[in-house]
Amino acid sequence: MVAAVRVSRWRHVGEDGWMQQTLASNASCIELAESVTAHNYRPLPIVVAQAEGAWVTDVEGRRYLDALAAYSALNFGHRHPVLLDAARGQLERATLTSRAFYNDQLGPFCRDLAALAGMDRVLPMNTGAEAVESAIKVARRWGYEVKGVPDGRAEIVVAEHNFHGRTTTLVSFSTDPVARRGFGPYTPGFTLVPFGDAGALRAAVTPSTVAVLLEPVQGEAGVILPPAGYLADVRQVCTESGALFIADEIQSGLARTGATFACDLEDVTPDVYVLGKALGGGIVPLSAVVSRDDVLAVLTPGSHGSTFGGNPLAAAVGRAVVRLLETGEYQQRARELGERLRARLDPLLGRGLTAVRTRGLWAGVDIDSEIMTGREACEALAACGVLAKETHGSTLRFAPPLVIEPEEVDWMVDQLEAVLAHAPGRGTP
Ligand SMILES: *Cc1c(COP(=O)(O)O)cnc(C)c1O
């Protein structure tokens, strides 16, 4: 089995690490973590100690294919050598300055990222949620100062089943009751429309609409793809009504879908990209709002900021990420491996799967709820050496690092096929 063969590469795990000496077993690591952390997650019982490329190794030496890739934050795999070199090099020079001073990594990173996106300027932040919050602030101020919306009246149109992060404002316009319950009072100023319905969007836009904020592909919702032409319609509605099109490409962007941005697949250019996750190369939190001069110009000294935003360590890693993307190699891998994944998943329709949705190397599959839950499928997959995560009950997402090998894609689907074939609801074969 692939997983077993690969264990030998990590035979040194635990030999010299204090963590492995004090916490020798998966069970003891989990027990400690559960006793001292807030229970805002319910992880699979896997304790990662080492990782490389598309594979992780637990504290007991078991190998797993990482088919989640930290929700696409690990598009380039664990510890990509080029990104590690960039980080190591910068660790030896300077790591944090705050924006009270300049650092020599900030300019090159923002220049290169803006060029990659075909935009003028970058507002660097840290987490995805912060970048979405920042884009909302920019859009509101742009609405008042440029569009002329009366003060305090700005509206932003968002889609049902969105996921933009966990801050109080962002959960205010979530439609997921679990994400919202107990966290009010909620921030006003958001209008919900069904995702993929251009007519509903057109009807929701008013003279006070400053922006339409959307994920081009709804990742957390289960890799939900809008109908063809929808993003172009969104672009048209925004242009006609004088609203900003803000594309949250935190999960869909940076090569995952087979293009640098998911919007590229429909030849659509938004006014604002919101980026995060893979931008930090799986090493540091790094997010960004990327837009034109006339939009980001509304931010003035003191009006917005972040202590860690634009720090030289993150900027050095982010610039190396941009350099990897400039080659087009990862976009191409996502396209080719994605076709392979699709070809292997389709035959499972009616054999345990009720739906398959893919965009590049990114798949949402719906498990037949008669045979098992999404959680049960993930537990069974983990027992076979594949780490995946359910979202919304019976949907599983597969988004392995783009450095995965073609045979490993096949092996991953072989494990899914075996899990479905032996599902409890189907009886023992
Ligand atoms: C993950 C994600 C976010 C939030 O990013 P964090 O870094 O977790 O704050 C926002 N939008 C989308 C589309 C995401 O997938």
Sorting pLDDT into bands at 50, 70 and 90, what band is 326? very high
Sorting pLDDT into bands at 50, 70 and 90, what band is 392? confident
Token look-up 């609405």 returns 143
Task: Give the pLDDT mean for 82-102.
Answer: 98
Structure tokens at 312: 């030289």
For residue 101, report the distance from its CA to the centre of ligand 1, in Å.
28
For residue 167, report the distance from its CA to the centre of ligand 1, in Å.
11
Closest of 65, 123, 124, 92 to residue 280, by C-alpha:
124
Domain-by-domain residue ranges, the chain? 81-329
CA-nearest residue for atom 10, ligand 1, is: 164
* Residue list, ligand 1 pocket, CB within 6 Å: 71, 127-129, 132, 163-165, 215, 219-220, 248, 250-251, 276-277
For residue 61, report the distance from its CA to the centre of ligand 1, in Å.
31
Choose which residue among 41, 68, 163, 274 to substitute to test ligand 1 binding: the one with the highest number of ligand atoms within 8 A of its C-beta: 163
Sorting pLDDT into bands at 50, 70 and 90, what band is 4? very low
Closest of 362, 359, 383, 361 to residue 372, by C-alpha:
383
pLDDT reading at 7 higher than 50: no
DSSP character for 327?
T
Task: Give the pLDDT mean for 394-421.
Answer: 97
What are the b/e assignments for 47-56, b being 16+ CB within 10 Å? bebbbbbbbb
Tell me the catalytic residues.
Answer: 163, 248, 277
Structure tokens at 304: 């917005």
For residue range 10-69, list pLDDT tens digits in order. 334 444 444 444 557 999 999 999 999 999 999 999 999 999 999 999 999 999 999 999
Task: Give the pLDDT mean for 176-202.
Answer: 98
Rounded CA gap, 186 and 35, in Å? 31
Radius of gyration of the chain measured on its C-alpha atoms = 22
User: Average pLDDT over the chain, rounded to whole?
Assistant: 94
Rounded CA gap, 77 and 52, in Å? 7
Sorting pLDDT into bands at 50, 70 and 90, what band is 263? very high
For residue 251, report the distance from its CA to the centre of ligand 1, in Å.
7
Separate counts of helices (H) and strands (E) for the chain: 16, 15
- Other C-beta atoms within 10 Å of 374: how many? 22
Closest of 136, 326, 119, 139 to residue 244, by C-alpha:
139
Q: Contact 201/212 with Cβ under 8 angstroms? A: yes
Residues in Cβ contact with 343 at an 8 Å cutoff, skipping those fewer than 6 apart: none
Query: Nearest 5°: CA angle at 182, between 138 and 306?
Result: 30
Position 6 scores a pLDDT of: 39
pLDDT reading at 398 higher than 90: yes
Rounded CA gap, 16 and 37, in Å? 26
Omega before 226 cis (within 30°)? no
Position 2 scores a pLDDT of: 41
Q: Contact 380/419 with Cβ under 8 angstroms? A: yes
Share of the chain above pLDDT 70, in %: 94
Q: Please identify, in words, the CATH class of the domain defined by 81-329.
A: alpha beta
Position 425 scores a pLDDT of: 75
- DSSP reduced 3-state for 350: coil
For residue range 100-139, list pLDDT tens digits in order. 999 999 999 999 999 999 999 999 999 999 999 999 999 9
Question: DSSP letter string over 3-34?
Answer: HHHGGGGGTTTTTS-HHHHH--SHHHHHHHHH
Strand 272-275, strand 244-248: pairing: parallel
Task: Give the pLDDT mean for 308-331.
Answer: 98
Choice among 12-26, 200-214, 233-247, 351-365 with the minimum mean pLDDT:
12-26
Position 426 scores a pLDDT of: 61
Question: DSSP letter string over 30-76?
Answer: HHHHHHHS--S----S--EEEEEBTEEEETTS-EEEESSHHHHTTTT
Sorting pLDDT into bands at 50, 70 and 90, what band is 271? very high
Rounded CA gap, 66 and 234, in Å? 34
pLDDT reading at 217 higher than 90: yes
Using CB atoms within 10 Å of the CB of residue 3, give its burial: 0 to 12 exposed, 13 to 18 middle, 19+ buried: middle
pLDDT reading at 9 higher than 70: no
Choose which residue among 74, 161, 164 to substitute to test ligand 1 binding: the one with the highest number of ligand atoms within 8 A of its C-beta: 164
Position 13 scores a pLDDT of: 46
